[in-house]
Amino acid sequence: MGNYILALDQGTTSSRAILFDHTGNIASMGQYPFPQYYPQEGWVEHDPMEIWETERQAAEKAIAAIPDAKILGVGVTNQRETTIIWDKKTGEPVYNAIVWQCRRTAGLCEELKRQNLSERIQTTTGLLIDAYFSATKIRWIMDNIPGVRARAEKGELLFGTVETWLIWKLTGAHITDYTNASRTMLFDIHRLCWDEELCRMLDIPMCILPQPVGNSQVYGYVKPGIPGLERLAGVPVCGSAGDQQSALFGQGCFRAGQAKNTYGTGCFTLMNVGHAPVRSRAGLVSSVAWNVGGETVYALEGSVFNGGSTIQWLRDEMKMVDSAAACDQLAGTVPDSGGVVVVPAFTGLGAPYWDMYARGAILGITRGTGRAHIARAVLESIAYQVTDLLMAMRQDAGCDITELRVDGGCSVSDLLLQLQADLVRIPVDRPHMVETTAFGAAALAGLSCGMWSSLEELESLRYSQRVFLPQRVQMDCDRDYRLWKRAVGRAEDWIEH
């Protein structure tokens, strides 16, 4: 009878549960998608009950696959910033979850900037004012759903991001871990507590906020009587982190200067900057990376809005390829993009540009341009955007990045990772076990409940599937990167406003 850790990996489009064994390998898995709701253009919602039910089903499936498993602990990782408010007694949500992608509070964010709160918010929370983060979503529910503010002020309602909601459903504890708290725009990342003045400025009652806690400690025990999860009753829920920090931890980036990039729909690059937060001057944000054993580690983070989604665009809208793998194959038939540059600013540009008025562009087309050149330029655009983030990190952190550890769907592309290594001039390391987000949550829980004893032991579980080293001449790569920057300049500020 083996010992296992259950990781609940609650994402934007599906809920997953993975059982990890003592060697850090996957023993079983369950996964269920759930619906996305778009009530208006730019609005994105989920049903919190569907989030819970699909996560419960995924856990039930993963557990059922190994009938004699001894589960020592549960770790949770989640889509960050997504906002849920529910009734403390009944557990009924007062409104759908407002998803991190939702732009409905852009106007409120502009108002906060006009009130000159940008400096106050960045200094305290490490974040830039944006509709991405949770605070303005809470305020929207308070202001727009009848009766919610009065019920909140009476202490009848609770707020949480997705990990808070799942842990409350499992244990009854109302907590949030420091990494998720630091994505709300209400949390002081220096003092590790809610900022009373910011809550007052944003008109958010503090009685609805969960208790902020570390990332590797017992939050509560799974309640008996949850259908399908009877075997989990009494098991501690003892690890939690937002998905990107969880991936940083799961990749073993335990030393300052280590960085990871997740090549997903968007790209998320995080760099461990050590025990003091770094104030970004280059359009990045600062967050808690994790707090383990009372020690806090901080990260710099940059987000690219369109990474793998650019390949989906080439497949679904442009009909140039019929799969992501076909994009790779097509791009590999030409030695370079023939001077073509794709800027995938479909929804504006994220870090370090933060330009919501930019739009996509294809530049450098000649009579000799073919599908293969455009496919290659699409892959290059992903690598260029990640290079932008790493350049900003080097500038902000004042220390070199030693290597880039990678995961996410697009990291299967050898061509993309070779392009990346050539551009950033450091090793790009793809691990053997690519479920690094879920493993990060498992590792945090496993440290707390005794499955693993130290960061060194966790580090020994990670091994590389392939490391890509720079091959192209640097002068040629620098020339291509300058061309990318010129192309971005053409795409910026495109929409009249």
Q: Using 50, 70 and 90 to split pLDDT, how confident is the model at 354? A: confident
Q: Tell whether pTM > 0.85.
A: yes
* pLDDT for 346: 85
Q: How far apart are the first and last CA of the chain?
A: 64
Task: Please state the three-class secondary structure of 384-417 as a single string.
Answer: HHHHHHHHHHHHHHCCCCCEEEEECHHHHCHHHH
Cβ contact 467:21 at 8 Å? no
Chain-centre distance for alpha carbon 66: 30
Does the pLDDT at position 497 exceed 80? Answer: no
pLDDT tens digits for 450-491?
999 999 999 999 999 999 999 999 999 999 999 999 999 999
Does the pLDDT at position 1 exceed 60? Answer: no
pLDDT tens digits for 295-350?
999 999 998 888 888 998 899 889 999 988 899 999 999 999 999 999 999 878 88
**φ, ψ for residue 419, nearest 5 deg:** -55, -40
What mean pLDDT is reported for the chain? 93
- What single-letter DSSP state applies at residue 349? B
pLDDT tens digits for 113-146?
999 999 999 999 999 888 889 999 999 999 999 9
Cβ contact 54:16 at 8 Å? no
pLDDT tens digits for 192-204?
999 999 999 999 9
Distance CA 154, CA 205 (A): 10
What does the radius of gyration of the chain's CA atoms come to, in whole angstroms?
Answer: 22
Residue among 183, 190, 247, 295 at smallest CA distance from 408? 247
* pLDDT for 303: 87
Percentage, residues of the chain above pLDDT 70? 100
pLDDT tens digits for 236-273?
999 999 999 999 999 999 999 899 999 988 899 999 99
